[in-house]
Structure 1
Amino acid sequence: MTLIGTLMAVSAVIGDYPVFTGQALRYGLAALILLPLVLRSPVRPRGLREWSLLTALAATGLAGFNYCLVEASRSADPATVGAVVGATPAVMAIVAPLAARRRPSGRILAAGLVVAAGAVLANGPGGDGDLRGTLFSLGALAGEVLFTLLAVPLLPRLGPLRVSAYSVALAVPLLAAAGLVAGERPRLPSPAEGAGFLYLGVVITALAFLVWFDALGRLGPDRAVLFAGLVPVSAAGTGLLLGLGTPSPLQLAGCLLVALGLTCGVKLRERRSTLGAARSRVL
């Protein structure tokens, strides 16, 4: 999530490139890196269920998320979009346990609300937007939630590497088709744009997806998604390092809230794990 927050470092460089075509290039590059690592393995997606989950993951969490994000940004300012998508930790604290047929944890929900509030503040002041922008922002939020939920049943058998490789590969034709529908005219990237897409494909996609899906298996989706609050924090830090602006006191307060929520959520997990191990030794 910290890596994804550095996206602002390259957003200005690729800002003039056709959006959907650029995203197709990004995921295509990640697929070229990841697919050779899994194609020789005897463990592959099998059956209609796994292929359907992977396709749905690519369509909603990757292609759909990017489409909604682009459309939302045309009717709302980035801070408003970020505020809606920043609610992901609070939403996942409820949705993830229900999807696993267990009761949501009140403490994880409280941590998610704190992280979400901090993410809203860390995004900076906003407020410009209309109903269309809000609806597409909610669509992006749904894509972010599905990006995690749809991966959970695939990870035990396929693992993080295969889920990453096949999902990014499936997203390429979907985004290319979206570019055609939008009337985009593909062109060769400039050297600076090429460097930006290289960073997007290698670091923000191939590497970030691998560590994210690995984290889901270790922490569970409701706790792992608490770290989504680090995206605006990382973006603010990246902007400071690049000399693009100094975070306001409100944004700094948001960063502290994110840290507080993360600490509470992760420490709760560690405490329960310690208590469980102690009980096992006693028994």
Structure 2
Amino acid sequence: MTAPRPDAAPDDAARHDADGVPLATGAPVPAPNPDTGADAPADPAAPSAPNPLLGYAAIIFAVAIWAGWIVATRDQVGAFSPLDLSLVRYGLPALILAPIWLKKGIVPKGEDWRLLAIMTIGWGGGFVMLTAKGLETVPASLFGPMVPATLPLFVAIWDRFVEDVRIHAQRGVGLALILASIALTLGPGLAGGPPGVLQGAPYLALAAAGWAAFTIAFRRTSLSGLEATAYVCLWSSPFLLIAALIEGTHLADAAPLTLLWVALSQAVLSGIGAVAGFAYAVRHLGAARTSSFTSLVPMGAAAGGWLFLGEEVGPLGWAAVVFACLGVAAVNGVFAGAFGRR
């Protein structure tokens, strides 16, 4: 079993449950929860009297943004390259969050630069480039089972075989539901159906593995969610700029309103707003209750793809999404009452 670091920051203990199991998430940003360990720690200056209504409003906002980001990215890959989207997704937040890294330095005091490097490789420019490439052929409605729901599988493998963390009953059931959702997602393609999902699946699997590497490294730091975002964006930007110099970019060719929408959806809302909303919700609701809402992201993405992009989900697709939501909910501890703590 794992346990909080002896030198952990005061709010770092919130990253572990009563058994010492690191907390984790299946959402598109760091969040506390039994599988990944990633979270947005509460602000030390948080109000002494939490307001649940404000907390629920904040987490609904964050979940809507995460689901909307999937739909927006699926829509934008037709006009922008994965590199273009990555430049906006990381370059702009690096500038907006500059006060954080200017105050703390390029490498925050007390943090291991190697962990920051792993976080950047896993959740930096490569993550969005792989995601965008996968979404060229995978509908937004099936993104949930392929990335947010797959994340806990990679973390569970690490926890079990590297850190020797026991997989308790509820987490095991959740992982089984996630495996079922993946099978339902890939099944039609393997049976001779349209090959789009199979073509994009390797990119999305690599994105999920990178995200898992990020969360495993992140839970060993004392950074908050916004601080982690600031450093991942900062460290990613030079490499993305070099890639843009070599490969070129078409951002300057986009219409001003289109470019503004990309900046708003990729950088401001997804890159910063959702992380801040999640952190605010943790203050008022607590980590466990807040993280339980992340299970709604796959359903939100599926509904958004169906409503706004005209995607045909189909019975198997909806079943995959439902299984993904239930699986993420289980690994987030939503059904703890039914399973106890074993």
TM-score (norm 2): 0.61
Matching residue within 178, 192, 195 for 2:258? 192
> Is 2:78 the partner of 1:15?
yes
Q: Give the counterpart letter for 2:138 in structure 1.
A: P
CA contact (8 A) 2:151 2:212 kept: yes
Is 188-197 or 113-122 further displaced after alignment? 113-122
Matching residue within 130, 140, 143 for 2:210? 143
SS at 2:112's partner residue? helix
Task: Give the match for residue 78 of structure 1.
Answer: 138
> Is 2:203 the partner of 1:117?
no
Provide the aligned length of Structure 1 versus Structure 2: 264
CA contact (8 A) 2:226 2:272 kept: no
CA contact (8 A) 1:31 1:169 kept: yes
Query: Could you tell me how far apart the structure 2 residues matched to 1:116 and 1:130 are?
Result: 16
**Residue 111 and residue 145 in structure 1: after superposition, are their counterparts in 2 closer, same or farther (change >3 A)?**
same
SS at 1:78's partner residue? coil
Please report how far the alpha carbon of residue 20 of structure 1 lies from its aligned counterpart in structure 2 after TM superposition: 0.9
Task: Give the match for residue 94 of structure 2.
Answer: 31
Two-structure CA RMSD over aligned residues (Å): 4.0
Please report how far the alpha carbon of residue 9 of structure 1 lies from its aligned counterpart in structure 2 after TM superposition: 3.2
SS at 1:254's partner residue? helix
Task: Give the match for residue 274 of structure 2.
Answer: 208
Unmatched tracts of structure 2, length 5 or more: 1-26, 28-62
CA contact (8 A) 2:88 2:266 kept: no
**Residue 110 and residue 206 in structure 1: after superposition, are their counterparts in 2 closer, same or farther (change >3 A)?**
same
Task: Give the match for residue 64 of structure 1.
Answer: 126
CA contact (8 A) 1:89 1:116 kept: no
Unmatched tracts of structure 1, length 5 or more: 277-283
Please report how far the alpha carbon of residue 152 of structure 1 lies from its aligned counterpart in structure 2 after TM superposition: 0.9
Instruction: Encode CA deviations 1:182-240: one digit per residue, 9 max, x unaligned.
Output: 3445525421232122121111111234466897x945xxxx6x977644322211123
Instruction: Encode CA deviations 1:19-42: one digit per residue, 9 max, x unaligned.
Output: 313311221222233232564469
Task: Give the match for residue 281 of structure 1.
Answer: none
TM-score (norm 1): 0.72
Query: Could you tell me how far apart the structure 2 residues matched to 1:126 and 1:212 are?
Result: 35
Higher helix share: 1
Instruction: Encode CA deviations 1:84-112: one digit per residue, 9 max, x unaligned.
Output: 54432223233245554422334302212
Query: Could you tell me how far apart the structure 2 residues matched to 1:20 and 1:64 are?
Result: 9
**Residue 263 and residue 67 in structure 1: after superposition, are their counterparts in 2 closer, same or farther (change >3 A)?**
closer
> Is 2:327 the partner of 1:261?
yes
